[in-house]
Structure 1
Amino acid sequence: MGEEIRYCPVEKALAVISGKWKPYIFRYLTGQTKRFGELQRALPHVTRKTLTQQLREMEEDGVVIRKVYPQVPPKVEYSLSDYGKTLIPVMSSLSSWGQVHSKRDNHARDNQPDG
């Protein structure tokens, strides 16, 4: 018999927020609606294709709402869904932990003996 595949809630949660640009997208959408171009300008190092892909994944996971206005040129806005807003305290906690870890990591490196 094969190995039993176990459900891991942490892995499921990380799948929603993992991706090089998702934390940045999440940060820019927290508390505000942004047009695609605004997101692209805020993240100049991400390609249009990658930004579109990350936004689609976030939309599929239900954390982002994409609203298309029927006009020419097309107007598309992105915002956090109510479900996505439940991630705000999670992302805030991760950010705080990351800051502590970064300081700890830097302190450990600074105290390494010269070799």
Structure 2
Amino acid sequence: MNLKEKLITRKSGPAKTARMVETIVGCKWSLTVYQLLEDEINRPGEMVKSVEGLTTKVLNQCLKRNIEFGILEKISYPEIPPRVEYKVTNFGQKFMRILRDLESLQLEIDN
């Protein structure tokens, strides 16, 4: 082997994933929304009523970002009045597992 074959190129972090984590963790409501969904509170009106300080506008922004990243899915039912629910995607389940691992790591650091 020559010297060029032994050189390792600089590794950089996954840009899209880093942006996603930064955006989601940077939003103070995303983790709360995930907890609501785990508690089977999946309709926007229920979410706003369940969390003090959460407004419809902020919730909609948070839900939209999570949908764009593929973490959540919006389900619209053709009913009158219209009914909308949110659920965690398969990708979202994996992502939330990573967030739980980060939370566990933080607890270890804190103790």
TM-score, with structure 1 as normaliser: 0.71
Distance 1:42 1:100, change over 3 A: farther
Deviates more, 1:86-95 or 1:48-57: 86-95
Query: SS where residue 87 of structure 1 aligns?
Result: helix
Corresponding residue number in structure 1 for 2:24: 17
**Aligned 1:3-82 pairs, distance under 5 A:** 8-9=13-14, 11-18=18-25, 19-30=27-38, 32=40, 34-82=42-90
Q: Which of structures 1 and 2 has the larger relative contact order (alpha carbons within 8 angstroms, sep 6+)?
A: 1
2:75–2:86 contact (8 Å) kept in structure 1: yes
Contact 1:30–1:85 (8 Å) recurs in 2: no
User: Partners of 1:23 and 1:81 in 2: how far apart?
Assistant: 15
Q: Offset of 1:49 from its aligned partner?
A: 0.3
Q: Structure 1, residues 42-100: CA drift from partner, whole Å, max 9, x if none?
A: 22211110000000010011110101111122111011011101113212112223334
The amino acid of 2:90's aligned partner reads: D
Does structure 2 retain, via aligned residues, the 8 Å contact 1:28–1:39?
yes
For the 8 Å contact 2:20–2:69, the answer to whether it is kept is no
State which of 97, 107, 112 in structure 1 corresponds to 2:105.
97
Are residues 16 and 86 of structure 1, via their aligned partners in 2, closer, same or farther at CA, if it must alter by over 3 Å? farther
Shift >4 Å, 4+ stretches: none
What amino acid does structure 1 have at the position aligned with 2:50? A
